[in-house]
Structure 1
Amino acid sequence: MSTAPGPAPASGLARLARPVQWGLLLVASAALAAILEWFGLPAALLMGPMLSGIAFGLSGATIRLAKPSVIVAQALIGTMIAGAITGNILVTFLGNWPLFLAIIVAVIAMSTLSGWAISRLNILPGTTAIWGCSAGAAGTMMLMAEAYGADARLVAFMQYLRVLFVAGCAALVAHYWVGLSGREPAPIDFFNPVEPLAFAETIVMMVATTALGLALKLPAGGVMAPFIIGGILNATGVITVALPNWLLTIGYALLGWNIGLGFNRAIVAHARRALLPTVLSIVVLIGLSGLLAALLSKLAGIDPLTAYLATSPGGMDSIAIIAASSDVDVPFVMALQTARLILVTLIGPALARMMANRTQPPDG
């Protein structure tokens, strides 16, 4: 009489208790962030946890961030961006809106065509590539993909992989640009003084706007609502956005872990066949964004690093952290990133659905 085999024994980090896994991840993230900071890499406090999260995910770690933790991270990033908003941002945007619109449309078109090509070559099943290659609004695209019968795991992998590549390239470009310009960002003061009343007002605003954004189901509501409403309040002097760097560091770490831990053995094995074409499409998209940045810099007189970060194809929260830790025009970067996110959210699902219909074989 044979007995059914039991579950396979846990391997790698999965053998450890979850509190131990979290402790090791915290230590690894702090050590790697310190090393990257020592080398002068922008957004080291994001990249250290992100890369550590990837290493842990691929080593069998079973820990994942709870959704409230992700929302807290997004709210902190959105509030941080709001503190950089001034009244000049709208003037700049309105003065160059045809150019901005053309750049945004070019990025969306290129990403959509990449997905269409991968799908037509039958590298990925069904319409998965169309949704996975979308330049932004990752959450919306994953929901739409699942509703349209695409492989949600592959779509998530492609979206996370693009965020990883874009963030890494943006951080390296920002670091290299420092060497060209000779402008070093100020060292991080984790315990920077913050006026208590301003801090309290900021926290109240952050909590209220985040709740509003989630209730209204805004795209990336955890980031967008604090960013937009807080930015208006900050620019008009109603409140002064003030956050201590130690609190922002927590937000950076949470965001980095959320991205990094999304890479696990199962999803990477599942996506193995799609890895090379996906990477190629991401590299092409990053290259196109670089060309668009050069065009933006030449025609609008924007410094090259600001233009590059502004045209980088997502994710908005990681680009915001890199911009905040670099010597760039943060409001300009976020104006273009926000406009792209809004446009992708408005037309992206319909555009992806149209392309998906074109790749579906006819019935009969």
Structure 2
Amino acid sequence: MQCTPSRSLDVSPASSNPNETTPTGTGKLPAWLQWCLVGCLSVATTVPLEIAGFPAALLMGPMIAGIIVALSGGTIRLPRIFFFGVQVVLALMIATMISQDFLGTFAENWLLMLFVVVSVIGVSTLSGWMIARTGVLPGTTAIWGSSAGAASTMMIMAEAYGADARLVAFMQYLRVVFVATCATLVAHFGGHDGAAVPPHAWFEPVPMLPLIAMLGIGILAGLLGQKLRVPAGAFLVPFALAAVLNSSGTVEIALPQWLLVISFTLLGWNIGLGFTRAILLHARRALLPTVASIIVLISFSGLLAGLLILVLGIDPLTAYLATSPGGLDSIAIIAASSNVNVAFIMTLQTARLILVTILGPWLARFMADRA
């Protein structure tokens, strides 16, 4: 049964959280003290990863810290306005790495890319159908939770089509954690670490007027994307606009490192703080089937990455990140932190997001009816 969408902003696991009655553990602490705790834990988890040379350590450390605080009873959540800001900054960051051959990359390899995208969507939909067949989850919830698209977009669409947004949030963000962790390990042990930025370089000056102008343009483009209900519009619309301006030489985008560090940290918290006890209890029956489907999907994506390596001759990490089943923002950060072909990765990831958004509602109804 189709419902009218009730939200225009991106939904995070926090916003889909059931009401928690009696705080326990960390949840008994004042909110400011919980934020201090997650901040201290973020430092404790990020520094060792940075020293070890892991890509995207500034994302993974805060994500781990957020999970620890959430599972210990924490009640704090990242406000939506901050998540919106993170998406805009990440869009501008990735746009600085896109050259004029972005569309050319798709034009030259569109048939192979289309095959890869359709294959990932097909396997993820089949996984959702199999979970639905077990009776552990309702049909549409299982399908949307398994969909290989941007997690926030899938939750908006799932709620609009009558699925349980809490379970979809759990399934989507659990996959994000698995994919981000695997991609980080592959990048590190595969010798694809990017050049680490020393802390003293975080505060190197950048031209402020162009920065303020570009951030203003990005925010307006993000708001427009949300207003027009573009899938992941807060990310894709600023990204598309900034990529065109940057690759054409119209605008030279320069983002300060401190702003990127803050954005990576906030995104890690947004993911990690969604794994509350309430959601885990709500989704406990679906945990094992969900983990199994994630492992199958990641393994299948690895096979597709092998196909890209054989056919196109690209490096393994570029192929793996390009075929990884979400999330778009975390994959973008890992790609930006590694020596890879960012344009190829973003082309394939964006194509999959657009296609799964177009086909998602029809696939969810079709497979749910047969489950």
Q: Fold-level match, TM-score > 0.5?
A: yes
Cα-to-partner distance string for 1:164-189 (whole Å, 9 max, x where unaligned) = 111111111111111xx6x6534343
Cα-to-partner distance string for 1:92-137 (whole Å, 9 max, x where unaligned) = 2211110000000000000000000111121223432111101114
The residue number in structure 2 matching 1:206 is 218
The residue number in structure 1 matching 2:251 is 239
The residue number in structure 2 matching 1:222 is 234
In structure 2, how many angstroms separate the alpha carbons of the residues matched to 1:338 and 1:8? 40
**What amino acid maps onto 1:330 in structure 2?**
V
The residue number in structure 1 matching 2:35 is 22
The residue number in structure 2 matching 1:336 is 348
**What amino acid maps onto 2:301 in structure 1?**
S
The residue number in structure 1 matching 2:135 is 122
In structure 2, how many angstroms separate the alpha carbons of the residues matched to 1:34 and 1:227? 30
The residue number in structure 2 matching 1:61 is 74
- Secondary structure, in 3 states, of the residue corresponding to 1:130? helix
- Judged with a 3 Å threshold, the aligned counterparts in structure 2 of structure 1 residues 9 and 301 are, in CA distance, closer, same or farther, namely closer
In structure 2, how many angstroms separate the alpha carbons of the residues matched to 1:354 and 1:137? 21
Residues 1:299 and 2:311 are matched in the alignment: yes
Q: Quick one: which of 197, 204, 207 aligns to 1:187? A: 197
In structure 1, how many angstroms separate the alpha carbons of the residues matched to 2:153 and 2:219? 23
Which moved further from structure 2: 98-107 or 29-38? 29-38
In structure 1, how many angstroms separate the alpha carbons of the residues matched to 2:244 and 2:220? 15
In structure 2, how many angstroms separate the alpha carbons of the residues matched to 1:52 and 1:60? 13
Q: Is the 8 A contact 2:42 2:62 kept in 1?
A: yes
Cα-to-partner distance string for 1:317-337 (whole Å, 9 max, x where unaligned) = 000000000011111111111
Q: Quick one: which of 74, 90, 102 aligns to 2:103? A: 90
Q: Is the 8 A contact 2:120 2:297 kept in 1?
A: yes
- Judged with a 3 Å threshold, the aligned counterparts in structure 2 of structure 1 residues 307 and 52 are, in CA distance, closer, same or farther, namely same
TM-score (norm 1): 0.92
In structure 2, stretches of 5+ residues that fail to align are 1-19
The residue number in structure 2 matching 1:271 is 283
Q: Is the 8 A contact 1:137 1:345 kept in 2?
A: no
Q: Is the 8 A contact 2:53 2:196 kept in 1?
A: no
In structure 1, how many angstroms separate the alpha carbons of the residues matched to 2:229 and 2:22? 41
Tell me how large the CA RMSD over aligned residues is. Answer: 1.6
Q: CA deviation at 1:354?
A: 1.1
Share of identical aligned residues, percent? Answer: 58
- Secondary structure, in 3 states, of the residue corresponding to 2:370? helix
The count of residues paired between Structure 1 and Structure 2 equals 350
Which portions of structure 1, spanning 4 or more consecutive aligned residues, are displaced by more than 6 angstroms? none
**1:24-39 counterparts in 2 under 5 A?**
24-39=37-52
In structure 2, how many angstroms separate the alpha carbons of the residues matched to 1:351 and 1:18? 41
In structure 2, how many angstroms separate the alpha carbons of the residues matched to 1:89 and 1:238? 16
Residues 1:174 and 2:184 are matched in the alignment: no
- Judged with a 3 Å threshold, the aligned counterparts in structure 2 of structure 1 residues 184 and 63 are, in CA distance, closer, same or farther, namely closer
The residue number in structure 2 matching 1:280 is 292
The residue number in structure 1 matching 2:155 is 142
Q: CA deviation at 1:144?
A: 3.6
Which moved further from structure 2: 189-198 or 36-45? 189-198
- Secondary structure, in 3 states, of the residue corresponding to 1:127? helix
Which moved further from structure 2: 187-196 or 257-266? 187-196
In structure 2, how many angstroms separate the alpha carbons of the residues matched to 1:84 and 1:313? 21
In structure 1, how many angstroms separate the alpha carbons of the residues matched to 2:322 and 2:39? 31
Residues 1:290 and 2:295 are matched in the alignment: no
**1:150-165 counterparts in 2 under 5 A?**
150-165=163-178
Cα-to-partner distance string for 1:26-64 (whole Å, 9 max, x where unaligned) = 121122111111111110000111111111110111101
Q: Which has the larger radius of gyration?
A: 1
